[in-house]
Amino acid sequence: MRTFAALLPPAEALDQLADTIGPLRRHPAGERLRWADREDWHITLAFFGETEGSQLPVLYEGLADVARDAEPFSLRLVGGGAFGRRHLWAGVAGDLEPLTRLAFASAGAGRAAGAPGGTVHDAYRPHLTLARNRDRNGDLDHWLARLAGFEGGAWTADSLVLMRSEDAVDGAGGTRYRTQASWPLGGPWPLGGPMKR
């Protein structure tokens, strides 16, 4: 299965973002974007790629250690940006130093487990992907301008989550993301393994 480490913003933070992008999704030009479903919104920490079942126990143990060594911290969803003309995203602000440390430590846990990915870019830019542009020649300026003033309220990142990617089976194409396991930052967690959702 394809896996990655992530943070999941709480419902209140997602509500604020959804209220802002609702009109953008309904804009006539919005049809040229493939919008991510709200239930798939997340902040990626580290991508592990195709992960074998035999690698999961070591990955669980490594991520549990990472979570235990971290403490909850405060984040906000703010503004927006794009990677080239392809990906539109909401930005992340707040306690970015512990967030970055968590990302690199999660990547290390993936490498220790032998996951083929286990990567996070040196210039880690935390974000929440909102949409992918179907038109490779079309710009995202309209949406970037509308997102520029967005400022969500503060929330506490308190769990490290291992996610898995699944191909959509509803005929719409694309990918869906599901929680595989999670651990509270700062621990402890129940005996016998990761905290499941």
For residue 127, indicate whether it is catalytic: yes
Q: Which of 27, 87, 121, 127 is catalytic?
A: 127
Count Cα neighbours of 105 within 13 Å in the Cβ-side half-sphere.
18
> Which CATH number does the domain 2-184 belong to among 1.10.340.30, 3.90.1140.10, 3.40.50.2300, 2.40.160.40?
3.90.1140.10
Q: Going by C-beta distance under 8 Å and a sequence separation of 6 or more, which residues neighbour residue 94?
A: 73, 74, 75, 76, 154
- CA torsion sign for 1, 62, 194, 175 is negative
For residue 27, indicate whether it is catalytic: no
Per residue in 103-157, pLDDT (tens digit) is 999 999 999 999 887 777 667 899 999 988 877 667 788 888 889 999 999 999 9
Give the whole-angstrom CA distance, residue 14 versus residue 175. Answer: 19
Nearest C-alpha neighbor of 140 from the set 91, 92, 83: 83
Q: Which of 27, 42, 87, 142 is catalytic?
A: 42
Q: Which residue type is seen at 46?
A: A
Per residue in 52-82, pLDDT (tens digit) is 989 999 999 999 999 999 999 999 999 999 8
Query: pTM of the predicted model, to two decimals?
Result: 0.88
Nearest C-alpha neighbor of 60 from the set 197, 165, 160: 160
